[in-house]
Structure 1
Amino acid sequence: MLVEPDKADRKLPIWTLLPNIMTVGAICAGLTAIRFSFQGNFEIAVQLILLACVLDGLDGRVARMMKSESKMGAELDSLADFANFGMAPGLMLYAWALQDARGYGWIAVLFYAVCCVLRLARFNVGNKADEDEGPADFFVGVPSPLGALLVLLPMFLSFLWWDSLVDYDVLIALYMAAIGLLLVSRIPTYSFKTTTVYSSNIKFILIGFAASLAILMTYPWLSLVIIDLGYFGVMIWSIFKYKALNKKE
């Protein structure tokens, strides 16, 4: 007896699966970062989180370029963001500095993870309701990938020059909670997605990117500290810029 194929089951070009493959790859990177953290190999763990950030930034763009966006891809992307930027960084910090802390260490991990999932839920609800989070140039609150990089700042500082920072578990727990609050806050943060450049300057952008990548690979902890501190500066600038734009309107 022949089974008729489901009417909803249609053939798709294999290349249309590339965005979802990238998202699944990002999930694997984030979960593997947790594994390496509990093995004490934090450098590889951070590299995997950076890889997850890159894949997170590319999968949606690739889907739009290929016109292969789907509801499943959107849900998968959201789950990947929670695993990579909510669970993984918190557990990395727990493995690094908070395992010997009292209950407040684990409470900080849970608080940060819940803030991350609430931030993602708010974003998803806004998308499904066809509502913007805010002006096109700004996010509402800190995006989860950047939140992951910010929350790992104590680890970067410790590996760079402040070795004893690992002993300040209370400070690290409070910092983690503060970053969690930034994720769910309503403060405007600049979105680089809308940034444009003149075509004549593309060569300089590419050269700058290559130089930045080389510096990141050569001096990873210093580069990551500079990126985090730079983004804190961008956040402060974003608040004043947002207020200035509202006054003009």
Structure 2
Amino acid sequence: MSDDDHAQAPRRRMHILQLLPNLISILALCSGLTAIRMAVEGQFGLSVGLIGLAAALDGIDGRLARMLKSESAIGAELDSLCDLVNFGVTPALVLYYWGMRADTSLGWIAVLIYAVCCMLRLARFNVGQRVSDAEEKPNGFVGVPSPAGAMLALGPIYLTYAFGPELKPPAFAIAIWMVFVGALMISRMPTPSFKGVRIYAENARFILVGSVALMASLLTYPWVTLMLLDIVYLIAIIVLWRRSAKSLRSVV
């Protein structure tokens, strides 16, 4: 195609609101990168808050793109790249600066393993999104999603901030926990997803009240609430795993 043909190609117009999903992804990336800076400066509580903000923004951008009908291949790739930084690199470095610099070699190995597991989890998710409509997609997630993995990995920080520095785990325990969470991300275990959850309309008021209570708990007792959410999430994974194992045994 000649330069003249390129010059005569019609220019596509788009509403400026359709840029919002990509802007939110970029804001999430800025939040994750700033969390690393705060960790370097020793402000680990703020680092955790910024990672949580990145996770909240990550839950918004895709839904907003579908609402505005502005989904694109570039937006999907941008979201995946931001997730790798926000939930693969950032929490690993925050944990390294917080509790593993005393054992730099072991801590850095855990950082690398966790980040690579997050990368593999995202790559598998992206491939799964390209499954044709003729193939059946699972109702939940397979393996822990990267935002949930990041919030799980930060569990040792929740424990220490909730109950005092005397309960701070040693560096080797933090490293083992990070590797364990990384293994959950690349595992084939079924994990909960709210995308397919349906409720009766008369029960909506209970969900709303529960959401308000959760937000109030996060604002009043953030570290205890985050730790309890991690525990509930792990219990949900175990329940789903046992249920799927029983169904497989019944088929056999």
Instruction: Tell me the TM-score normalized by structure 1.
Output: 0.92
The count of residues paired between Structure 1 and Structure 2 equals 248
Aligned twin of 1:192: 194
Cα distance in 2 for residues equivalent to 1:85 and 1:219: 23
Match 1:75 to one of 71, 74, 77? 77
Match 1:27 to one of 26, 29, 37? 29
Letter in 2 for 1:208: G
Q: Does the 8 Å contact 2:84/2:122 carry over to 1?
A: yes
2:23 is the counterpart of 1:43: no
Cα distance in 1 for residues equivalent to 2:115 and 2:69: 32
Match 1:98 to one of 78, 100, 111? 100
Instruction: Structure 1: state its 5+ residue gaps.
Output: none
Alignment of structure 1 residues 211-226 onto 2, 5 Å: 211-226=213-228
Aligned twin of 2:109: 107
- TM-superposition CA deviations, 1:122-180 (whole Å, max 9, x none): 11122224389975322111111110011000111011115134460011111111111
Instruction: Structure 2: state its 5+ residue gaps.
Output: 1-5
Q: Does the 8 Å contact 1:133/1:139 carry over to 2?
A: no
User: What is the root-mean-square deviation in Å for CA atoms of aligned residues?
Assistant: 2.3
Cα distance in 2 for residues equivalent to 1:5 and 1:115: 45
2:235 is the counterpart of 1:233: yes
Q: Does the 8 Å contact 1:126/1:133 carry over to 2?
A: no
Q: Does the 8 Å contact 1:136/1:194 carry over to 2?
A: no
* SS of equivalent residue, structure 2 residue 70: coil
Cα distance in 1 for residues equivalent to 2:34 and 2:25: 14
- TM-superposition CA deviations, 1:49-107 (whole Å, max 9, x none): 11111111111111111111000000001001101100110000011011221311111
Deviation at 1:241, TM superposition (A): 2.6
CA separation of 1:135 and 1:114: change in aligned 2, threshold 3 A: same
Aligned twin of 1:59: 61
The runs of at least 4 consecutive aligned structure 1 residues that moved more than 6 Å come to 131-134
Match 2:88 to one of 65, 86, 89? 86
* SS of equivalent residue, structure 1 residue 191: coil
Aligned twin of 1:172: 174
Q: Does the 8 Å contact 2:149/2:181 carry over to 1?
A: yes
Cα distance in 1 for residues equivalent to 2:10 and 2:81: 25
CA separation of 1:238 and 1:83: change in aligned 2, threshold 3 A: same
Instruction: Tell me the TM-score normalized by structure 2.
Output: 0.91
* SS of equivalent residue, structure 2 residue 191: strand
CA separation of 1:156 and 1:38: change in aligned 2, threshold 3 A: same
Deviation at 1:196, TM superposition (A): 1.1
Aligned twin of 2:158: 156
- Range with greater deviation from structure 2 (179-188 or 201-210): 201-210
Cα distance in 1 for residues equivalent to 2:135 and 2:94: 30
